[in-house]
Structure formats: structure tokens, C-alpha cells
Homo-oligomer: A and B are copies of this chain.
Amino acid sequence: MSLPHAILTALIEKPSSGLELARRFDRSIRYFWSATHQQIYRELKQLEQAGLIRARDEEVVAQGQRKTYEVLGPGREELKRWVSAAQDLKPTRDPMLLRVRAAAVVGVDGLTGELEHHLAQHKRQLEEYLEIERRDFVDYTTAETRLQHLVLRAGVGLETFWIEWLTVALDTVRDVAP
């Protein structure tokens, strides 16, 4: 039940159309919650029906016409409620860890290539985060930017962890199957 709240957050930050939202998800929100434009359109419709958001230009009904959505009072209230609601940790599902475990029983043939590939992707992602940090988080003081920076630091920390782990994993895999 997080996608509606991701959309509410994005719309409070800046009222947008479906496609603009899809682009913002692709550009930055996907770092912690990814979504395709199909998911977004479906969810926008449901949020509008639930009275949490509304389209600004209600007169435009023709298909292909841009609709800009904004968050209504009940939408903001729902988001506040959700922020502090009790939620358990969702169960882990990491295919790479599963693959290493599988390699333990069927052999590590061909695994190094995949580990290298993932290592490269995580290094690229880390660079992207550090770039954003240098660009957007120098000399800030507001509560809002401090919290946004906190989220970015999670990204930096996670990528750093995976880079270290994959490096060790590559050493181990090369060692057990030379």
C-alpha cells in the first residue's frame, strides 16, 4: 500500500500530470520507490475516486489531454496518518543472494560475470547519488532538506555496502573455482 502514498508525496511536492509524475519517479523517486506510468495512471484514478486528489482542469475530458492533479485535504491527512502508522519490515527477496546460495549446490560456473555486472551497476548508482549530494545538498538547513538528505544517505550507504560485498564475493567465487 505504498504507491498511493508515494504519489501523494510527489503531488504535494509539486502538482503534476500523470506523465510528469512518471518522469519524476524515473528521475528521482525510483531511488526508493519505482513505478511505471501504467501503475501511476491506475492509481491516480483510484485516488481521485477516493477524494484524496483532484484534477485541476476538470473541463478537459478529451483523451490525450493533460490533467494536472493536486492533493486535497483528506489526501494530506491520509499521508500524515500513514507516516506514523505501525508497519512491519517487509520480507527480504534478493535474487543475487539466492543465486549464490544456489551456486553453493550446483557450482559457480558463470557467476563471476554476473557479480561483475552487478558491481558495475552499483558503482554507477553510487556515483549518481554522490553527484546529487554535491549538487543539491551543500549548505542547507531546513527540516525538509535534512530529511531528504537522510534518504539519500541511505542510498549511499546501501550502494557502498553492496560494492564491498560484491568485491568480497568475487574474491571468494574466484577462489573456490579457479
Contacts and interface: CB of A to CB of B under 8 A. Distances in A.
B150 A94 contact: no
Copies in the complex: 2
A106 to B, nearest CB: 5
A32 B109 contact: no
A90 interface: yes
6 contacts: A8-B102, A12-B105, A33-B92, A97-B151, A100-B147, A101-B151
Q: At the interface, is chain A mostly helix, strand, loop or mixed?
A: helix
B165 A161 contact: no
- CB-based closest 5 A-B pairs: A84-B110, A34-B91, A32-B97, A143-B176, A104-B147
Interface stretch (A42-50, A55-63, A114-122): A114-122
On chain A, which size bracket covers the interface? Answer: 35 or more
Which among A13, A94, A102, A146 has the highest number of chain B CB atoms within 10 Å? A102
A111 B84 CA distance: 5
Given A2-B95, A161-B161, A147 B114 contact: no
B94 A32 contact: yes
A168 B147 contact: no
A150 B121 contact: no
Interface string A63-89: 000000000000010011011111111
